[in-house]
């Protein structure tokens, strides 16, 4: 009987331990989930300003190109007129690349060494507590078009268009998709696929701005989604002094604003400011173009909030910068030369024997004239027939002006 009772007790104990173990596992999973959520909350987000002012290594700048507002420029060689340029393109993706749950970035750089090539490269950027830390770059191609950049499962998807083997430079008929992964400090190509470029419907090229009727004291919200590089256009009417409040919400602030007047053409917000919210005092009564521009490398959902407020006495409308006034004072004329005018011609040998020796060693198809107005002298060699009088007069006028 005792053995039976012991067996029954053990049978009843095992389910209890299973329940306790299950609860422990559930608690651990919940704890890890909360920890991951806290890491995401506490980690700072990379901003476009940090990406625009980071230092990147590229194929033509292996020592690094320190971007300023998205651009780097340097001489291709000492004293050379050719320039090396590196520019950050308006397309990026954000997500975890190294497994620490902080959202990193994948950006596109366009560089040129002064020749005919335009090199497009993919850069991986680590998120160091909100600071952009570029890790490495990989060349995507020469004069290709990047259509999409996305981070999924710590992998970077890049979709680009390139020329076929027999295509001219202006035509790109091949669409290539590649997956990259960050392995230490290197980007590794995982796979690649290729297909023909599909025709784009004609309606995709039609400009259809949407009018938003917003009365003073009210607001309106619109939403949508944008493909990489796509623009949503809206029109809002406002009067001078009224305040237009705009907020564009999207993942990683990848939907930025552009605002301009449709009558006067004045730009109030440029897309290069990467602004996601603005309060604008309207300078005049007119229709205003409000655009939401996607700088994401993937289809981006967005929400645009528009509010119009009454004119504030404390706020003055933005005035177009006035042109600089013209000088009101008439410049005084130069004094009229006095005395006898004239020049004395001397042989060039009196100015330079070496110049004469050089001139006489050449065929007599050109002449030399050195004019010194302050001394009233012209040193000449073979100038009477080879140097036109008009050219000498021009040289005299120029030299006199320079000496004043």
206-309 folds as Jelly Rolls (2.60.120)
Residue 339 is predicted with a pLDDT of 54
Residue 331 is predicted with a pLDDT of 60
Task: Compute the C-alpha angle 217/218/220, nearest 5°.
Answer: 155
The number of C-alpha atoms within 13 Å of 202 and in the hemisphere containing its C-beta is: 0
Query: Which residues lie closer than 8 Å to 313 by C-beta, 6 or more apart?
Result: none
What does pLDDT average to in each consecutive run of 10 residues of the chain (404 residues)?
A: 44 53 49 46 79 95 94 88 92 94 95 86 95 96 92 95 78 89 95 83 74 95 92 95 96 94 94 94 96 93 96 58 56 59 71 73 65 72 54 59 54
Question: Alpha-carbon distance 253 to 28, whole Å?
Answer: 34
The number of C-alpha atoms within 13 Å of 117 and in the hemisphere containing its C-beta is: 12
pTM for this predicted structure? 0.62
Query: Which residues lie closer than 8 Å to 74 by C-beta, 6 or more apart?
Result: 61, 65, 83, 84
Q: Which long-range contacts (CB under 8 A, 24 or more apart) does 396-400 make?
A: 396/343, 396/371, 399/371, 399/373, 400/373
Report the chain's terminal Cα–Cα distance, integer Å: 129
What Å distances lie between residue 267 and 129, 239, 323, CA to CA?
Answer: 34, 16, 17
Residue 318 is predicted with a pLDDT of 54
Residue 277 is predicted with a pLDDT of 96
Residue 59 is predicted with a pLDDT of 92
Domain ranges of the chain: 1-42, 48-196, 206-309, 344-403
Query: Do 295 and 226 form a contact (C-beta atoms < 8 A)?
Result: no
What Å distances lie between residue 390 and 197, 216, 277, 365, 381, CA to CA?
Answer: 63, 71, 64, 18, 17
Residue 174 is predicted with a pLDDT of 87
DSSP state of 46: P
Question: Alpha-carbon distance 54 to 390, whole Å?
Answer: 57
């Amino acid at each position: 009987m005792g053995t039976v009772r012991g067996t029954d007790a053990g049978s009843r104990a095992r389910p209890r331990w299973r329940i306790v173990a299950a609860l422990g596992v559930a608690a651990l999973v919940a704890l890890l989930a909360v920890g991951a959520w806290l890491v995401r909350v506490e980690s700072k987000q990379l901003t476009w300003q940090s990406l625009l002012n980071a230092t990147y290594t590229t194929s033509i700048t292996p020592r690094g190109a320190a971007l300023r507002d998205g651009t780097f420029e340097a001489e291709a060689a000492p004293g050379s007129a050719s320039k090396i340029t590196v520019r950050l393109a308006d397309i990026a993706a954000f997500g975890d690349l190294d497994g620490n749950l902080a959202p990193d970035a994948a950006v596109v750089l366009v560089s040129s060494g002064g020749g005919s090539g335009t090199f497009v490269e993919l850069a991986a950027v680590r998120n160091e507590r909100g600071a952009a830390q570029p890790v490495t770059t990989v060349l995507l191609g020469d004069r290709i078009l990047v259509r999409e950049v996305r981070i999924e499962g710590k992998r970077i998807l890049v979709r680009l268009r390139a020329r076929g083997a027999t295509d001219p430079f202006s035509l790109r008929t091949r669409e290539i998709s590649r997956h990259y992964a960050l392995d230490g400090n290197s980007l590794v190509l995982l796979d690649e696929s290729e297909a023909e470029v599909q025709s784009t419907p004609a309606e995709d090229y039609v400009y259809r701005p949407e009018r938003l009727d917003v009365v003073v004291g009210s607001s309106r919200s619109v939403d949508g989604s944008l493909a990489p590089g796509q623009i949503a256009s809206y029109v809002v009417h406002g009067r001078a002094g009224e305040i237009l409040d705009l907020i564009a919400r999207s993942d990683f602030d990848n939907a930025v604003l552009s605002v301009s007047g449709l009558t006067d053409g004045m730009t109030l917000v440029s897309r290069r400011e990467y602004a996601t919210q603005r309060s604008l005092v309207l300078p005049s009564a007119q229709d205003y173009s409000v655009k939401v521009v996607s700088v994401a490398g993937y289809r981006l959902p967005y929400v645009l909030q528009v509010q119009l407020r009454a004119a504030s006495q404390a706020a003055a409308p933005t005035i177009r910068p006035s042109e600089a006034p013209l000088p009101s004072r008439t410049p005084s004329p130069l004094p009229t030369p006095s005395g006898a005018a004239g020049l004395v011609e001397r042989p060039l040998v009196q100015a330079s024997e070496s110049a004469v020796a050089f001139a006489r060693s050449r065929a007599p198809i050109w002449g030399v004239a050195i004019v010194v107005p302050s001394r009233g002298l012209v040193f000449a060699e073979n100038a009477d027939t080879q140097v036109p009088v008009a050219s000498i007069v021009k040289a005299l006028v120029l030299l006199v002006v320079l000496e004043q």
